[in-house]
Amino acid sequence: MTTTGFNGWTNHATWNVSLWIQNDRWLYNTAKACVQYVTDDETPYDKFIRCMHNVDREATKDGVSWASDEVNRDEINAMMTEL
């Protein structure tokens, strides 16, 4: 993880996504399941985005889209594998 940017994350969007996943029980458990059941053709965060789409939760409660191009997916995938 970088030490520059926003609170140690690349930017606000990445920090916000990480914050929600790590501090909301349902999102946390969903992220853990995505890591556990990920297939070879996707990343844990890609699977998480698909799960959020399936339950009509397209963004964090702060309005950051899970699928935003601003989200550093490498950082989020690394965070998710450490859950």
User: DSSP letter at 1?
Assistant: -
Q: Is pLDDT of 47 > 80?
A: yes
Average pLDDT over residues 16-32: 98
**What's the whole-model pTM score?**
0.92
- Secondary structure class of 22 (helix, strand, coil): helix
Task: For residue range 62-81, list pLDDT tens digits in order.
Answer: 999 999 999 999 999 999 99
For residues 30 and 36, the answer to whether their CB atoms sit within 8 Å is no
User: Which position has the token pair 């899970």?
Assistant: 66
Predicted confidence at residue 56, as pLDDT, reads 96
Q: How far apart are alpha carbons 83 and 20 in whole angstroms?
A: 13
What is the predicted pLDDT for the residue at 2?
A: 45
